[in-house]
Amino acid sequence: MVFLSLFLIIRCTDYPIDEDGLLITERAECYVSNFELLGTDFQTVRTKAPEIDTVAQTIHVEVFYGTDLKNLYPQFSLITDAKLDPKITGKVDFSDIENPKQWTVVSGNRQVRKTYTVFIAVQEISQN
């Protein structure tokens, strides 16, 4: 029993843990694979798929006309073992369209950091 306990303690410390309690791995990949934007009813407010440019590190998303830009919930899908900084802890105010929001994706090994800028555009109302 003592041997098993020592093995588990040693085994659990093979990889370090970061300040968020997440495992630090050897992965250096660092990118956003998908982006979602939800309204207060937790339904999408996007009019179409987001345009994610992993080279320019930009995300362009169009939202429906009339969307409350002060109360949106962004959701990022990241490469395995990566994390987002700053953390998203609730609704985000995107109402200042001239000053887009930025988040940094941090690789699993915590060595690579890429800052993505999220540009919001509001769907134009059609006049038929």
Domains of the chain plus CATH, in order, are 25-122 (2.60.40.2340)
Q: Are 32 and 78 in contact (CB under 8 A)?
A: yes
pLDDT tens digit sequence for 6-51:
455 555 556 799 888 889 999 999 999 999 999 999 999 999 999 9
pLDDT tens digit sequence for 88-103:
999 999 999 999 999 9
State the pLDDT at residue 126.
75
Q: Are 73 and 92 in contact (CB under 8 A)?
A: yes
Q: Are 117 and 58 in contact (CB under 8 A)?
A: yes
pLDDT tens digit sequence for 40-93:
999 999 999 999 999 999 999 999 999 999 999 999 999 999 999 999 999 999
d(CA 51, CA 65): 18
> Residue 67: which residues within 8 A CB-CB, separation 6 or more?
39, 45, 122
| Percent of the chain topping pLDDT 90 | 81
d(CA 29, CA 107): 6
- pLDDT above 60 (res 4): no
State the pLDDT at residue 3.
54
pTM: 0.84
d(CA 47, CA 96): 19
